Copies of this chain bind each other. A is one copy, B any other.
């Protein structure tokens, strides 16, 4: 754990950083989208920005899970895949969209952490099957737990709204 290199720092006692005189211009970036209004495109933009803020800024589970497990998100992704089902290095490589050598590196890392092991393939002695260990399964479960934690506000949403959201999201996914 390292100290934050730059905090939001709303300290009212701070010596006040030098501000720009703000040369009477356009009012600089209305980020939360101009106005929902009734125009569908405008509303879509507003909703889209809101969704991005919610998922990418407010609740960045990738970062959380990487921090919690002390490994990069890609390792977590590999671990979860392996925990879901033992697979060959080749299959893992395909899943992660990386080449074979790097897959070896990734699996080496998981093995070194005691989260996975390599076992011979029953039918093909060239292959190795990557399996999760008990510790790995626990870690993967923890990862799942974090990834699957919705924002608190989602769980306290009015049931009708929650149902509507779920239905709409399903529709958006086709």
Write the residues of chain A forming the contact surface with B, with a CB cutoff of 8 angstroms: 4-6, 8-9, 17-18, 20-21, 28-29, 31, 36, 40-41, 43-56, 58, 61-62, 84-88, 90-91, 93-94, 97-99, 121-124, 127, 129, 147-151, 153-155, 157, 159, 161-166, 168-174
For this chain, the copies found in one complex come to: 2
Which residues of B are found within 8 Å of A163, using beta-carbon distances?
36, 43
A-B contacts, 23 of them at CB < 8 A, read A4-B97, A6-B97, A6-B98, A17-B90, A18-B123, A18-B127, A20-B87, A20-B88, A31-B84, A36-B163, A41-B155, A43-B166, A47-B162, A48-B148, A49-B148, A51-B169, A52-B147, A53-B173, A54-B169, A54-B173, A56-B62, A157-B168, A157-B172
Residues of B within 8 A of A98 (CB): 5-6
User: In whole angstroms, what is the CA distance A87 to B46 when docked?
Assistant: 26
Which among A5, A84, A86, A154 has the greatest number of chain B C-beta atoms within 10 A?
A: A154
Across the interface, do A174 and B153 meet the contact criterion of CB distance under 8 Å?
A: yes
Chain A interface, DSSP helix/strand/loop, else mixed: helix
Shortest Cβ distance from A56 into B: residue = B55
A47 and B166 contact, Cβ closer than 8 Å, known pairs A56-B55, A154-B172:
yes
Give A25 Cβ to nearest chain B Cβ, in Å. 8
Residues of B within 8 A of A97 (CB): 4-6
Complex partner residue of A9 from B31, B45, B94, B162, CB under 8 angstroms: B94
Q: Which residues of B contact A93 (CB under 8 A)?
A: 6
Residues of B within 8 A of A91 (CB): 17
The complex places the Cα of A157 from the Cα of B52 at a distance, in Å, of 18
Flag if B18 contacts A121 (CB, 8 Å): yes
Residues of B within 8 A of A6 (CB): 93-94, 97-99
